[in-house]
Amino acid sequence: MRGQLDELQKKREKLLLGGGLDKIQKQHEKGKLSAWERVLYLLDDDKDFTEVGVFAADGQYKEHGGCPNAGVVVVLGYVKGRLCVIVSNDATVKAGAWFPMTCKKNLRAQEIAMENHIPIIYLVDSAGVYLPMQAEIFPDKEHFGRIFRNNAKISSMGIPQISAIMGSCVAGGAYLPIMSDYALIVEGTGSVFLAGSYLVKSSIGENIDNETLGGADTHCEISGVTDNKFPNDESCLDAIKNIVDKFGSEPTYDYSRIEAQSPEYPMDKLYDYLPEDRLKPYNMVEILKCIVDKDSLEEYKKDYGKTLICALARVDGWAVGIVANQREVVKAKKPGNSTEMQMGGVIYSDSADKAARFIMNCNQQKIPLVFFQDITGFMVGSRAEHGGIIKDGAKMVNAMANSVVPKFTFMVGNSYGAGNYAMCGKAYDPRLIYAWPTAKIAVMSGASAGKTLLQIQEATLKSKNVTLGEEEKSKLLKEIEEQYNEQLSPYYAASRLWVDGVIDPAETRKIISMGIEAASHNTDIGRYNVGVIQT
């Protein structure tokens, strides 16, 4: 675990440099702060923050020179004591141009603001769409245009939006700051226009420089497009702080919270206890005792459906309902005083049934849900099928999918197949979803997938009258497993925003606490209705 945490820290430190130290220096020479410097200047010194979308685009777009962190920083943090989403374009990465993953990450930031009814601040410094990939970012529903649709929707919801134009703001991207409630601009470096001077020249033959076309003086004194101009980044960011400081308070939903207690065990115990081998058993309760407040864990139906732990607890004082995979092999009592050995990390009919009821309880009692995944899937085989595992699994998925209380998901270890879905994977709208460095995310394990894919390839070759020898089979299996195992990595998932990032387990408490605080700003949680329950 410590080796994996060292790797995580090194990866994060590299991302802080964006496009590199030389490009940050060029920003400074222009009188501009870097993307991260702007964010840190804006945030309150005495408050913590959570990065969202860290490792987005990691390892992607190599043929285009890469796009570290998707060229944009997104954090959930406090400005003048107010919890906000902050989006900061990184001009050291392809001049802040939008790649497909940049768009996806910006949409994720807006989604968080919309779900939780919290203000969103855009620090704009972007050359617009990355033209070589325009077909992958421009026309579809979840592409670039969705950003401005969301600007309009966020405004209609009464959620504050503030934009600071701190560099280029071109073409369609010009609508983002101007559709915000406040549009500020930095003199000399900020500019906003639908078409730059070169395009204006080629389109209508007009000769004009960019500053006259769309600089701070033009838009603050002539067009009225922007509200106020500022001599440098710092004064512009100070103005944002002053604006946020004047926001009136909004009603919040009163999720239960008391004074926080430290966990029973220090995080070092988790680092030492969690096995590196994803097949080895361990007791998930011991992991939870490193995360929840001391003496707050109250298990639900402890002796029934034991491969899933369902428990009420508190995290940083907040009441939560926990659904977590138990990784120990357990004994389950059956009718006739018989027992059945059940494998840890597998959902059986009894555990699915228990979880469905627990999830419904939490919704009725307005308790946020937290899922800890280390799951290989649902039980298979004739005994499970005849016992109605599909029906019971569907009941659990139904109860979870229709939840109206905030949901948060952490991938501790395995996250395979339908188990990912039942334990509130990305498709089921968790407010925040993060992976630990120990996570493995795929349809099935590398070993299982490798053998299956080998059989498929063997059958294909056999149809062409090609037979593989044992040595050739071993070589092919190794190649398949290596490729598949690369896709199992939590960094592969984070790169594609299947999760909001890879974190040190020690950050779990903070993320849950900030997540529930953010969620409390949306008082319209709706009525819980599961529809038709499978019986």
- List 219's β-bridge partners, or say none: none
Q: Which of 172-186, 283-297, 417-431 has the lowest mean pLDDT?
A: 172-186
Would you say the C-alpha torsion 243, 248, 250, 254 has a positive or negative sign? Answer: positive
- Whether the CB-CB separation of 67 and 57 falls below 8 Å is answered with yes
What pLDDT, on a 0 to 100 scale, did the predictor assign at position 157?
Answer: 96
Helix (H) or strand (E) holding 412: strand 407-416
According to DSSP, residue 129 is labeled B
526 CB-contact burial (10 Å; exposed 0-12 / middle 13-18 / buried 19+): exposed
Q: Considering only residues 446 and 106, tell me which one the structure prediction assigns the higher pLDDT.
A: 106
Q: Which of 349-353, 384-388, 469-473, 517-521 has the lowest mean pLDDT?
A: 469-473
Question: What is the C-alpha separation between 151 and 182, in angstroms, rounded?
Answer: 12
pLDDT in tens, 436-446: 999 999 887 77
User: Average model confidence (pLDDT) for the chain?
Assistant: 93
CB-CB neighbours of 134 under 10 Å: 15
Share of the chain above pLDDT 70, in %: 100
What pLDDT, on a 0 to 100 scale, did the predictor assign at position 172?
Answer: 67
CB-CB neighbours of 338 under 10 Å: 8
What pLDDT, on a 0 to 100 scale, did the predictor assign at position 279?
Answer: 86
- What the block records as the tokens of 302 is 């402890």
CB-CB neighbours of 463 under 10 Å: 8
Question: What is the C-alpha separation between 522 and 525, in angstroms, rounded?
Answer: 7
Give the closest residue to 525 by CA, choosing from 429, 433, 434. Answer: 429
- Whether the CB-CB separation of 6 and 43 falls below 8 Å is answered with no
Q: What is the DSSP string of 25-67?
A: HHHHHTT---HHHHHHHHS-TTS--EESSTTTTTT--GGGT--
What pLDDT, on a 0 to 100 scale, did the predictor assign at position 380?
Answer: 87
Is the per-residue pLDDT at 369 higher than 90? yes
What pLDDT, on a 0 to 100 scale, did the predictor assign at position 322?
Answer: 98
Give first-to-last CA distance, the chain, whole Å: 42
What pLDDT, on a 0 to 100 scale, did the predictor assign at position 458?
Answer: 80
pLDDT band at 480 (very low <50, low <70, confident <90, very high): confident
- List 369's β-bridge partners, or say none: 321, 407
Question: What is the C-alpha separation between 97 and 130, in angstroms, rounded?
Answer: 5
Question: What is the C-alpha separation between 531 and 402, in angstroms, rounded?
Answer: 9
- What the block records as the tokens of 379 is 């039980």
**Backbone phi and psi for residue 205, each to the nearest 5 degrees, phi listed first:** 80, 10
pLDDT in tens, 125-151: 998 888 899 899 988 999 989 999 999
pLDDT in tens, 448-471: 777 778 888 888 888 888 888 888
DSSP strand pairing (50-51 vs 72-79) = antiparallel
What pLDDT, on a 0 to 100 scale, did the predictor assign at position 464?
Answer: 84
According to DSSP, residue 118 is labeled -
pLDDT band at 393 (very low <50, low <70, confident <90, very high): very high
- What the block records as the tokens of 378 is 């649902």
Question: What is the C-alpha separation between 245 and 239, in angstroms, rounded?
Answer: 10
What pLDDT, on a 0 to 100 scale, did the predictor assign at position 289?
Answer: 98
Q: What is the DSSP string of 320-380?
A: EEEEEE--S-EEEEEGGGEEEEE-TTEE-HHHHHHHHHHHHHHHHTT--EEEEEEE-EE--
Is the per-residue pLDDT at 99 higher than 90? yes
According to DSSP, residue 433 is labeled E
- Whether the CB-CB separation of 366 and 334 falls below 8 Å is answered with no
Looking at the chain, the number of H-run helices and the number of E-run strands are 20, 19
Question: What is the C-alpha separation between 88 and 53, in angstroms, rounded?
Answer: 12
Question: What is the C-alpha separation between 277 and 487, in angstroms, rounded?
Answer: 18
pLDDT in tens, 255-306: 999 999 999 999 999 999 999 888 899 999 999 999 999 999 999 999 999 9
pLDDT in tens, 321-357: 999 999 999 999 888 778 889 999 999 999 999 999 9
Mean pLDDT of 213-239: 95
Question: What is the C-alpha separation between 482 and 488, in angstroms, rounded?
Answer: 10
Mean pLDDT of 375-392: 90
Question: What is the C-alpha separation between 440 and 43, in angstroms, rounded?
Answer: 33
According to DSSP, residue 384 is labeled H
Please tell me which of 34-38, 386-390, 415-419 the model is most confident about, judged by mean pLDDT. Answer: 34-38
CA angle 378, 380, 282 (to 5 degrees): 50
Please indicate, yes or no, whether the overall pTM of this predicted structure exceeds 0.85. yes
Question: What is the C-alpha separation between 489 and 499, in angstroms, rounded?
Answer: 12
What pLDDT, on a 0 to 100 scale, did the predictor assign at position 467?
Answer: 81
Helix (H) or strand (E) holding 397: helix 389-401
